[in-house]
Amino acid sequence: MIDFLVYVLFGLVVGVIAKFLMPGKDPGGMIITILLGMAGAIVGGWLSTMMGFGQQGQSAGWIMSIIGAVVLLAIYRMVNNGRVVA
């Protein structure tokens, strides 16, 4: 349970940093930010493995997690462009 809470907190921090690096209006709130950061860590780990910086199953680290979250935020904005999300 503690590992999950740490991962959620990590996702929140990474998501906030990604949104800070890509300012603009986002239709998502706190939950979207946390999910974005958590998924960014997964995407960052995958990207680092594909580029040869890491090994399979290794954590992404802060920088790659933030890069992954920024990539996902860009995709999220493209998908939700012009839609009103309540």
User: Would you write out the chain's pLDDT as a tens digit for each of its 86 residues?
Assistant: 777 787 788 888 888 888 888 877 766 777 887 888 888 888 777 777 777 776 655 566 778 888 888 888 888 888 877 565 54
DSSP state of 24: S
Residue with tokens 């800070």: 20
How is the chain split into domains, by residue range? Answer: 30-86
Q: How many CB atoms are closer than 10 A to CB 27?
A: 13
CB 13 within 8 A of CB 37: yes
CB count within 10 Å of CB 35 equals: 18
Whole-prediction pTM: 0.74
